[in-house]
Structure 1
Amino acid sequence: MASVTFKGNSVTLPKTEVKVGDEAPQFKVLANDLSEVTLENSKGKVRLISVVPSIDTGVCEQQTRRFNEEASKLDNVEILTISVDLPFAQKRWCAAEGIENLQTLSDHRNLSFGTNYGVAIEELRLLARSIFVVDSSDTVTYVEYVPEVTDHPDYDAAIEAARSAK
């Protein structure tokens, strides 16, 4: 199991842990227009799933901006940023920040993604910072559970994993 802290304090995550080689777990989240989105919506593409606690915080903003910049350099890769922020807040933030190359998705309704990927923080009802790369055949090819939620992920490793996935 991934051991994760938030500001130095241990947090409780679901017992589920996704590993390289696993079939990607299904999930149901909301797009900014409140439509439901599942893993099937991007079937046949490589997915880089960037998970952030809240898009309105410093590290989360930087993470989302970085992957937005990288998105135009990646062929057949869809970048999904998932948080528990309300879809309206995600839409407003993306518009204000000029984020157009990735899709922000909300797991606020039932924590489907957070539960199935083992990143829902029980004490805070936030998602633990993490990165998942899922190939076009729905196999997980890269996983990073960031040990301290307030730290940055390994951007270069995640981007390379997305480039290498087929």
Structure 2
Amino acid sequence: MPQVQTDVMGKRKKRDLNNASKKEKAMQIYSKDFLSYGKEYKITFGHQNFTLGRGKLAIGKKLPDTKGLMTPSLTAPYFIRGKRKLILTVPSIDTPVCESQIKELSGSVDEYYDITGREVYVVSVDTPYAQARFIKDNNINERINFISAFADDNFLYASGLCVLELNVFARSAIECDERDIVTNVYITKDITHIPLIAHM
């Protein structure tokens, strides 16, 4: 398929994702209906089916290389050593579901940290500038660490969380221990649903 046609189709699908998210805004849905990571690769978006890529991320293994990722301050991301982590991947902060999810997290992240001791990260394919603007405009809690995969898609594909037809992250939650070993991966079967996990 010609690249121009592929790009147009991708833009249309991303526009559909945003439109569907607007419909979900009034009824934010939390879900425990998760994929079996590493065994299931189909997710839904309304009545449409999409496919996850197959990556290197695996429970019991160390996080894939994060080289190439960027913070809103245009620095390499720093995963705090010796701390357990919760890494949330979202399709785009420009969609209402993601916006609502992160705003709600901003109000509860201090309590979540007090209970779990986990540092919280949000990863998306948005530009670092878009993330910085979102943080400022919405007064997002500084305890949430934002990471952009816009400039380098290595982690997007290595994580196995890439929605291939859209080239964005699926909505997921990754739990890691103090050594960055993955202990749990939660991926909602519907990309517009938010993972419901303990203490969140």
TM interval, shorter chain, is 0.7 to 0.9
Find the aligned partners of 2:101 and 2:150 in 1 and give their Cα distance: 20
Higher CA-based Rg: 2
Corresponding residue number in structure 2 for 1:54: 92
Corresponding residue number in structure 2 for 1:159: 199
Find the aligned partners of 2:56 and 2:188 in 1 and give their Cα distance: 13
Find the aligned partners of 1:62 and 1:111 in 2 and give their Cα distance: 25
Secondary structure of 1:42's counterpart equals coil
Equivalent position amino acid for 1:128 in 2: A
Within a 5 Å distance, the mapping from 1:127-138 to structure 2 comes to 127-138=169-180
1:158 positional shift: 4.5
Q: What TM-score, normalized to structure 1? A: 0.84
Corresponding residue number in structure 1 for 2:102: 64
Count of residue correspondences: 156
Corresponding residue number in structure 2 for 1:11: 50
Find the aligned partners of 2:151 and 2:123 in 1 and give their Cα distance: 12
1:21-57 CA-partner distances (Å, limit 9, x unpaired): 232222231100111225xx32211111011101121
Secondary structure of 1:10's counterpart equals strand
Within a 5 Å distance, the mapping from 1:96-115 to structure 2 comes to 96-100=137-141, 101-115=143-157
Gaps of at least 5 residues in structure 1 are: 161-166
1:17 positional shift: 6.3
Structure 1 position 144 matched with structure 2 position 186: yes
Equivalent position amino acid for 1:149 in 2: I
Corresponding residue number in structure 1 for 2:74: 34
Q: Is the 8 A contact 2:120 2:145 kept in 1?
A: yes
Instruction: Report the RMSD for the aligned CA atoms in angstroms.
Output: 1.9
Structure 1 position 22 matched with structure 2 position 61: yes
Equivalent position amino acid for 2:76 in 1: E
Corresponding residue number in structure 2 for 1:163: none
Secondary structure of 2:87's counterpart equals strand
Runs of 4+, deviation exceeding 6 Å: none
Equivalent position amino acid for 2:127 in 1: L
Gaps of at least 5 residues in structure 2 are: 1-38
Equivalent position amino acid for 1:8 in 2: H
Q: What TM-score, normalized to structure 2? A: 0.71
